[in-house]
């Protein structure tokens, strides 16, 4: 027998630090609902309207996607539990900019993506933000034969399973025989 739910049960999801300039200062928040689409040319995420970072996204129509690793769990937790209205999150990281000068990125994160907003979809207390990927940056140490090796990234995964907000780590790969 299966139990019915009114919300998705797709867990775990990648933990992402979305960055934006809010009043000319980098700010970051944790996003657990994010999805690439159009074969990676766009990114979609859900954002509560009360979030401080939202102001920067609306001010500049840009944002960054930063993939934290296990080494950044404490700083990621801080970004997810404290508002940028109350603390200066830019001081937690070595911030840098790529082509998009209003999308701050976190140098310590092994993967960074800078995006321009193409659409914001209003859904009551939340918004859906769609951004066009301008550039992606990956630490050389996370590449194997010039390609992203997710096992070297050590990304944080996020779940609300068992009624708790939990961070997880990537498990062992399951290998399929070559055909």
Q: Can you give the residue ranges of every domain in the chain? A: 13-169
- Output the pLDDT for position 67: 97
List pLDDT tens digits, range 8-27: 777 778 899 999 999 999 99
Given this model, what pLDDT does residue 162 score? 63
| Side-chain-facing half-sphere of 54: CA atoms under 13 Å | 17
What band does 109 get if pLDDT is binned at 50, 70 and 90? Answer: very high
CA gap 48, 104 in Å, rounded: 20
What's the rounded mean pLDDT across residues 73-82?
93
CATH of 13-169, one of 2.30.110.10, 3.30.450.20, 3.40.50.2300, 1.10.760.10: 2.30.110.10
């Amino acid at each position: 027998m299966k139990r019915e739910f009114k919300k998705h049960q797709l867990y775990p999801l990648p933990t992402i630090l979305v960055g934006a300039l809010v009043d000319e200062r980098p700010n970051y928040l944790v996003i657990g609902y994010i999805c690439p689409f159009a074969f990676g040319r766009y990114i979609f995420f859900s954002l509560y309207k009360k979030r401080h970072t939202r102001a920067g996204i609306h001010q500049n129509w840009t944002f960054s996607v930063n993939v934290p690793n296990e080494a950044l769990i404490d700083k990621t937790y801080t970004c997810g539990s404290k508002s940028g209205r109350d603390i200066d999150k830019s001081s937690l990281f070595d911030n840098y900019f790529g082509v998009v000068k209003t999308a701050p990125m976190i140098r310590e994160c092994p993967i960074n993506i800078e995006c321009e907003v193409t659409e914001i979809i209003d859904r009551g207390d939340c918004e859906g933000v769609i951004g066009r990927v301008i550039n992606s940056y990956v630490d050389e140490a996370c590449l194997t034969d010039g390609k992203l090796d997710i096992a070297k990234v050590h990304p944080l995964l996020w779940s609300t399973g068992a009624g708790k907000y939990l961070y997880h780590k990537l498990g062992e790969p399951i290998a399929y025989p070559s055909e």
